[in-house]
Structure 1
Amino acid sequence: MELLSEFLIDIYFFFIDFKFWKKKKAQRKYEKEQGLPKQLMVYPSSKIYLRVLFLLVVLTFPVCFLLFINKDQNVMNKQMTQIHELLKAEKKQFSTYPKQLNTIIRNNPLHRNLTLDAWGNAFSYSVTKDGTDYNLVSKGADGILNTDDDVE
């Protein structure tokens, strides 16, 4: 079906270009007879391709913007979920959360950069006095704690 549609589109472009070519030939003959300068004439298929290209370029920017605007935020959410799961396992095993976040790494090379957020800043991690709850905060893009861009 796709091959047929492409074939029909090619036939359509050939037909409109052929009509244009005949018109252009007549125009050039008229210009030559009258001693007029040649007018700029662009094939219709070229106009269509340029319009499609323009639309693709114009639409690419908003799509890229929407896809990559929250990239760091999505990375942060995944990373914080992974930390939460490791902290939960730690509490299940030892009945309290660790005093330092580095404890969950446990010489595992896959968790080596887990204590750094998407912007390369260390997480702010604190445990309650009884060790039954914790607070994990990313300082955000600015690297300053207690600002609007912090992620808890």
Structure 2
Amino acid sequence: MAEVRRQGLDALSRQISMLGASRILSALSCSLHRPSHGRGEVAAALEVAVPYGYIGSMKVKPGHRDDVLNILLNSAEGLRKVGCDPYVVCVSNADDVTILVSEVWQSKEKHDASLQLPETKAAISNAMPMLTGEFTRQEVTVDGRPPRLSPATTGSTARRA
């Protein structure tokens, strides 16, 4: 956990270094004078996007898991271009009908905007007939980003898109 927090602080430090000193001092002054400000308000004062995380699962109709995986994985590059990285697609080890997707976005606004893109709408439209309608979703606050793992060093069935 300490390593993840250190990486999050390193990323924030890189973002802060790109900002002007006056904006940093202004944001810190704002947070000191209004201690009720949370992490999101301070980031907003710094004009730094707070990473947004989304974890979802879906059930596919039997025999369609690979088809849906291909649709999801083929969407990865387009999602990266509009602010999603990492985008990880996993399959359940417990059954052959559950797919999980983990996304880290530069901001919630970028995530929401991606849902309006023609290619995203087409991917959703193509996948929907193969899904059962059973979904879960969890929106999360990203406090740090894990290091990238190569498939050779992990024992999971996650597919980094």
TM-score by length of 2: 0.27
Larger radius of gyration: 1
Higher relative contact order, chain-length normalized (CA < 8 Å, sep 6+): 2
> Which structure has more strand as a fraction of its residues?
2
TM-score by length of 1: 0.28
> Which structure has more helix as a fraction of its residues?
1
